[in-house]
Structure 1
């Protein structure tokens, strides 16, 4: 379970990006250039979440009970709370 929010950071001079579970008030630096990284985006799902997968169509499925979208790695639907069958490839 992700307790901290994940952010996408970018180094301004090189454009190199990294995803970090960031803490408020901390300053993060690029390991190569040493420059301060700037926040580009906050990643979904928002913390705290039982899923670590990003919400994209490839990582979602329909709940058979309520027909709402749920993360592929969850056992219980976050909408109706019912148990979903294991995802098959």
Structure 2
């Protein structure tokens, strides 16, 4: 489990965005332009979390037991703690 918080950072001139496990007080720069990246927001889930996926529609599924959303890479529901079945590809 990572203890650093993930942030969404943006290059001001190009609008390109990246996700970074950032450290407070550290300056991050765009590799192509050299510009200082601006923080757009924190990426959910916030630590501590067993999931490495950003909290986004394409990464979520519903727990069959409690009907709450959970990240697709989790085996147990973070809300009720019960084991969720495998994900079936369509």
TM-score by length of 1: 0.86
Contact map agreement 1:5 1:48 (CA 8 A) in 2:
no
Tell me what 2:87 maps to. Answer: 87
> In structure 2, the residue corresponding to 1:58 is in which secondary structure?
helix
- Contact kept? 1:2, 1:51, Cα under 8 Å: no
Q: Is the 8 A contact 1:76 1:82 kept in 2?
A: yes
Equivalent residue number for residue 11 of structure 2: 11
Aligned residues: 89
Q: Which residue of 2 aligns with 1:35?
A: 35
3-state DSSP of counterpart to 2:2: coil
Following superposition, which runs of at least 4 residues in structure 1 exceed 3 angstroms of deviation? none
Runs of at least 5 residues in structure 1 that lack an aligned partner in the other structure: none
Instruction: Kindly report the root-mean-square deviation, in angstroms, between the aligned alpha carbons of the 2 structures.
Output: 1.5
